[in-house]
Chain A
Amino acid sequence: MKDVRALVLTGFGLNCDWETAHILNLAGAQARRVHLNAIISGAQRLEDYHIFVIGGGFSWADEHGAGVILAMRLKHRLRDQILSFVDRGGLVLGICNGFQVLVNTGLLPGFQPGSWERQAALVTNDCGTFRDQWVHVVFNDQSPCVFTRGLEAMELPVRHGEGKFFAEPDVIERLEKNHQVVLRYATEDGHPAGGAFPANPNGSIHDIAGICDPTGRILGLMPHPEAFNHWTNHPDWTLEKERRRRAGEPLPEEGAGVLLFRNAVHFARTGEQFVA
């Protein structure tokens, strides 16, 4: 079986790198935490990896807009490397701060690949402050996104102050038409939240929690799948434990977040685009 190598970006206030590497390993990848400057200096090369993850955190302390300065650095220092990585069929995943970075580079929504034009934004939550809460999300089965194939709904934590997805109506329309809206905030029964707080925790337009590029190989999302790496991450697991014990069912081990990474690893392993 082909080795799937994943690069988890670190440095400059990014965090979530340990658990992101951990869940990638659970999903079958060989994950490595790599400092941004190690890529810029050439000590590490994106082309040696199949999956490139920009995880959560506060790059440059979120000053001057969350993800703005990291996006600028990627755009000006790694532009060609990233483009060729994507062209070769590499997968890019931006979680939370990483999603903010991807929209600020223009890699998302990426209507014209390689244009690096900003067309969407993640702005301050309508509630005005940082929130850590679990949300229900539903996935769009029409989406080309390779990370979410076969997934219908999931519970995941969101942890952000700037997560309200915003774009002008024409951009939203195009995103919807292309099925680039991959996941939406939803109610417990699986319907989109309809903007209602707290099911939609930040006021995102169309309840958008994550989008992909037209190829489906670049995904950005605000919820943290890597924070549901173990079943005890879930807020209700002690109730679920009682339910299962009384029903004579075994206790699980993994959290549902692993599924998304397993999809990515599967795609990278079987995808034909890869030269590596």
Chain B
Amino acid sequence: MAARLEIALKPHLFDAEGSGLCRMIHDYFGWHVGSARVIHVLMLDAGLNESELEAVRTEIFTNPVTQVSSYGPLARPEDFDWAVWVGFRPGVRDTAGSVALEAITDFLQRPMPPHAAAYTSKLVLLRDAPLSREQVDTIARELLANDIIQQWRIYAPKDWDSRHGIGFILPKVDLAHTPTVQTLAIGSDDELKRLSDERNLALHPRDIPVIRAYFLRPEVVEERRKVGLDLPTDVELEAISQARSDHCNHNTFRGKFFYRDPDSGEEAVVDSLFRTCIEAPTLKIQKKKDWVVSVLWDNAGVARFDDDHHYVITGETHNSPSNMEAYGGALTGIVGVYRDPMGTGKGSRLIAGLYGYCVGPRDYAGPLRPHLHPRRLLDGVVEGVRDGGNKHGVPTVFGNLLHHPSYLGKCLVFVGAIGLMPKTVKGEPTERKKPNPGDLIIMAGGRVGKDGIHGVTASSESYSEHTPAGHVQIGDPYTQKKMHDFLLEARDEGLITFITDNGGGGLSSSIGESAQMAGGALVELDKVPLKYEGLDVWEIWVSESQERMTVAVRPENLDRFMELARLHEVECTVIGRYEDSGKLHLTYEGRTCAYLDLSFFREDFPQWEFDAQWRSPQSRGLTEPVLSEPQDFGRLLCDLLASPNLCSREWIQRQYDHEVQGTSAVKFLVGRDRDVPNDAAVIRPVLSSNRGLAVTQALHPTYSQIDTYHMVEASIDECVRRLLAVGGILDEIGGVDNFCWPNIQYDPEKNPDGRYKAAQLVRANWALRDMCLAYGIPLLSGKDSMYVDGHLPGAYGERHKVSGLPTMQFTATTVVPDVNRCLTMDVKMPGDAVYVLGITRNELGASEYYEHLGHVGLNVPRARPEDFLKLYRALEQAVDRGLCASCRAVGRGGLAVHGAMTAFAGRLGMTWDLSRVPVDGDLPPSALLFSESLGRFLVTVPPDRIAAFEELMKGLPAGRIGEVIEAPVFRIRASDGKELLNVPLERLRQAWCGGKG
């Protein structure tokens, strides 16, 4: 018999959750709701008797100081104008429910019956709410719930059943299905193609003949017959589909590109962007830099931190799921990327998290109807990363946010993770791992359900109304944090020979790939613990249920490994063993259901091919706009500071625990008001040492409107400067590239500009190669996410394809020998001299200034690494000698925007004379102030260090443009001596805070 426990705050207490909801209803819709109170509901289906129910109510679930509770309805019809119940759909991860069951089991000290369950939900009572049912339904749909994962019911007082309330709603998964293994006929290529479409296998047409040929090969047929197999099974085809997906196999980056530029006549065949632009430069650089420890093969890259430790870094995206269910998608994204360092080498401890969001305009009011409005989407994504990061105990140290209408089709959610590992464990290098034949295969962490089935193939396709919603999940940082702590102890005892995470593709990927290293694997799929019965065998193999790792353990270490697992209460199950059979051999209840040669995954698949046709910006008709000089620079600067892509994002970072672990040395937000973004964050991951690790990120997708080559250049150059600006070392910069690109496969109807987008990708990769070689940056890790396209309903029932701007987010790290040398961007003391380092050019193309005035332009900023490096080396020395008081890499918005920020961050004024700015040619004030030329810094230097600083900068483009002053104003004189701008700091600050400061 089920029971429903309702828990509410005592009526005289302030309901912060309800009050937040009223505020949001007003912000989103402009509707008035006087008050909202939340009743938390716990449906218990665990066979508890009456005294047990009463005991858990009072002892666990009710705080006598603040709460009231009852097994009957707490709400009376006179308590509300509208009541909205919101609960999960069946099968959606309900961490609170499982924690409740865990607590009850622990409290009662007896095991629960096998199918016992607890489900959480909430009932929201709206009072003083003069709304229609339709309006309440909008609130439920837009604010309280997402119909992909949740269900809701709306009650008016007259509908309310005072005796039974909402009744009993048990979202139990009941599949009533007996697991089977099907065999599938593949008589012809067409038949396999049909099968692929029906089963959503997303097999590439070029792969189909190869797959068929394998199963028809006489020796394969013969070997399969011996294990009782004939036609391919569904398990096998699903496994192949996962292994061949673009997400797992990076077919696009490994494809062949036929690049042509009809304007210049240039033609080139690029055989694998990965090999030529990522792998080759990184290997070349690794030869020269002994601090590059392990790259290009594992879940994350490994670099030396100090004599005893390595750091581990990777970056991921979680775009498609976040686009459908922002909170769950982003939460799953951050928790998922955290498994990469955990599964790198023999495992590392997480020390930092990173984020980057690209979404549509927050106030979008146009005719297109994305699944989630950008505002709600961003709010959800922000909260998802908050809960995932905070509950994992990992500081979220740095992040990006960019609004652009092109992301209405699909948002981008970048998540990054950094870990730390000892150099050796029990005398063995920690970065190395290899499963050996005979090692047991252990699945650790969560259980397997239908979650995320076909997630990998779905993210390899564009979003449309047919995208299966089943791939949306909600991550569980609690379960994973327990597993994290457990695995590190097991690692330190030398119990782990190999470890990798179960992310995209589930066991299929993790065991499929590790079996290649061992030489074979035998897996008994009936041993895999399930969340509920009724999964088909292929579903067990490819499910992407979260919070799971695959671990190889020698048989003699199993007992100790399991003992530690019990201590930490982490579920671990032996599901098979590695072998030297050369086969991937899967069984279910003793019968073989897959038997594939490992060599089959490595060979014979044709490369994907792309036509790539570049059109130069000029031939696309781009020109510089015809603009005269503005007259009101003060107001212009304020409006730029208020623009969505430059204004304060304190509201995001403030929700993220960025100081847990006690390692924070330079925070993302700095200044006297602690709200202005700094160039980079620095942590001190080994607490007993003063050595630091600096990390930053940059992205410049608007430059892609002119040339993706320069988009990538700008992002990498900006990262380098940002690391220097905080005191990082130039020679130990490592990079992570995250590409997010629209579909590049040409199709005359569905993707008519596919060839151009392919050429954009080629050029972006060329820039990546050139910049990494020029600056000596190895790519420690990187990922690509293609198909950033959406098909959005318009005003008349039509659908529009919206492709995201080609985007590459660059993440860069370096070491800081001693954190005491670190700098922040805020100006420090009146009387300090202000310098601009680097040359300002007429490079306003795709700048914030042009965008604000409605133009794109042509003159996009370009990198000149050889020239820049001379300046960078000099600045590195200046920082090393402690000559600077503040340093800022000048980026989006240009000199005036960044100057204003350094001033109000330091609560000190500045005077500038633009005639002193190092320039190329004769530039009008607008270009001096707003050009986004690369290679530049704003630096302040105390009077007694000026001589030494200028000595270092001799022969380099360094202009002493002014002074930090006590008076809280920002004053700029033009080259002709005329005052261009004289604005109180408070006005600049207010503009930047959007009035919220």
Which A residues contact B (CB, under 8 angstroms)? 10-16, 18-19, 22-23, 35, 37-38, 41, 56-58, 60-65, 68-69, 72-73, 76, 104, 118-121, 123-134, 157, 159, 164, 166-168, 203, 224, 226-227, 229-230, 232-233, 235-236, 238-239, 241-243, 245-246, 251
Contact = CB atoms under 8 A, between A and B. Distances in A.
A123 B485 contact: no
A226 B66 CA distance: 29
B485 A57 contact: no
A22 B687 contact: yes
Contacts of B392: 15
Given A61-B95, A123-B13, A227 B103 contact: no
A251 B818 CA distance: 13
Q: How large is the interface on B (under 10, 10 to 19, 20 to 34, 35 or more residues)?
A: 35 or more
A64 B61 contact: yes
Contacts of B477: 13, 58, 61
Most A-side CB within 10 Å, residue of B14, B66, B102, B672? B66
B390 interface: yes
Given A18-B661, A69-B99, A229-B687, A167 B65 contact: yes
Interface of B: 9, 13-14, 16-17, 19-20, 23, 59-61, 63-66, 95-96, 99-100, 102-103, 106-107, 386, 390-393, 476-478, 481-482, 485, 567-569, 653-667, 670, 672, 674, 684, 687-688, 819-820, 822-824, 826, 828-829, 882, 885-886, 906, 942
B16 A124 contact: yes
Given A16-B661, A64-B60, A242-B885, 17 more contacts: A12-B478, A12-B569, A15-B392, A18-B687, A23-B662, A58-B393, A61-B99, A72-B106, A118-B63, A120-B65, A126-B16, A127-B16, A133-B654, A232-B664, A232-B819, A233-B659, A239-B672
Given A130-B657, A242-B828, A121 B16 contact: no
Nearest to B653: A132
Contacts of A73: 106
B16 to A, nearest CB: 4
Nearest to A171: B65
17 contacts: A13-B478, A14-B393, A22-B687, A61-B99, A63-B96, A69-B102, A69-B103, A73-B106, A121-B63, A129-B20, A157-B659, A203-B14, A230-B662, A230-B819, A233-B659, A242-B828, A242-B885
Contacts of B882: 245
B63 A10 contact: no
Contacts of A16: 393, 660-662
Contact of B660 (A23, A126, A227, A229): A227
A233 B942 CA distance: 24
B655 A131 contact: yes
B386 A130 contact: yes
A134 B673 CA distance: 11
Contacts of A166: 13, 65-66
A267 to B, nearest CB: 23
Task: Select the residue from B9, B100, B665 with max chain A CB neighbours within 10 A.
Answer: B665
A240 B380 CA distance: 38
A118 B65 contact: yes
A251 B820 contact: yes
A64 B14 CA distance: 18
Contacts of B100: 63-64
A227 B569 CA distance: 28
A132 B60 contact: no
A202 B87 CA distance: 28
Nearest to A162: B16
B665 A63 contact: no
A246 B687 contact: no
A interface majority secondary structure: mixed
A229 B390 CA distance: 20
A128 B63 contact: no
A134 B61 CA distance: 32
Contacts of A251: 820
A130 B9 CA distance: 19
A35 B655 contact: no
A61 B391 contact: yes
B57 to A, nearest CB: 12
A246 B662 contact: no
Nearest to B824: A238
Contacts of A127: 16
Contacts of B14: 126, 203
Contacts of A242: 828-829, 885, 942
B103 A13 contact: no
Contact of A226 (B13, B567, B662, B665): B662
Given A69-B103, A133-B674, A12 B482 contact: yes
A68 B657 contact: no
B103 A246 contact: no
A64 B670 CA distance: 35
B674 A241 contact: no
B479 to A, nearest CB: 9
Nearest to B476: A61
A73 B105 CA distance: 11
Contacts of A120: 65
A235 B820 CA distance: 13
Contact of A60 (B66, B478, B660, B822): B478
B684 A232 contact: yes
A29 B226 CA distance: 66
A127 B20 CA distance: 8
A14 B392 CA distance: 9
A64 B392 CA distance: 18
Contacts of B885: 242
A273 B14 CA distance: 43
B659 A236 contact: no
A145 to B, nearest CB: 22
Nearest to A65: B63
Contacts of B886: 238
Contact of B99 (A64, A125, A134, A229): A64
Contact of A13 (B9, B482, B658, B823): B482
B420 to A, nearest CB: 10
A132 B65 contact: no
A130 B390 contact: yes
Given A22-B688, A126-B14, A226-B662, A37 B567 contact: yes
Contacts of B60: 64, 68-69, 72
Given A68-B60, A130-B386, A241 B670 contact: no
B662 A123 contact: no
Interface centre among B106, B662, B688, B906 (most CB of A within 10 A): B662
Closest 10 CB pairs of A and B: A15-B393, A19-B662, A128-B20, A61-B478, A63-B99, A124-B16, A121-B65, A63-B96, A232-B665, A22-B687
Contacts of A61: 95-96, 99, 391, 476-478
A227 B66 contact: no
